[in-house]
Structure 1
Amino acid sequence: MAKSLVSICAVNHVIKNSNFLSGIIALPARRALEREKIDSLEKLSDYSEEEIMKLHGFGRNAMQKLKDHMKEHRVSFKN
Structure 2
Amino acid sequence: MKSQKTRRTCKFGHTFYKSSDCPTCPTCEKLKAPASGFLAMLSNPARNTLLHHGIDTIQKLSSYTENEILQLHGMGKASLPALHNALAAEGLKFKDKKHDKN
**Bigger radius of gyration, 1 or 2?**
2
SS in 2 for 1:23: helix
Q: TM-score, normalising length from structure 2?
A: 0.59
Gaps spanning 5+ residues in structure 1: where? none
Is residue 51 from structure 1 mapped to residue 54 from structure 2 by the alignment?
no
SS in 2 for 1:67: helix
Aligned length in residues: 75
- Are the structure 2 counterparts of residues 46 and 5 from structure 1 closer, same or farther at C-alpha, using a change threshold of 3 Å? same
Computed over aligned residues only, the root mean square deviation of the Cα atoms, in angstroms, reads: 2.8
- Bigger RCO (CA 8 Å, 6+ sep): 1
User: Relative to total residues, which structure has the larger strand share, 1 or 2?
Assistant: 2
Q: TM-score, normalising length from structure 1?
A: 0.73
Residues 29 and 58 in structure 1, CA contact (< 8 A), matched pair in contact too: yes
Give identity over the alignment, percent. Answer: 27
Report the equivalent of 1:63.
80
- Are the structure 2 counterparts of residues 10 and 76 from structure 1 closer, same or farther at C-alpha, using a change threshold of 3 Å? closer
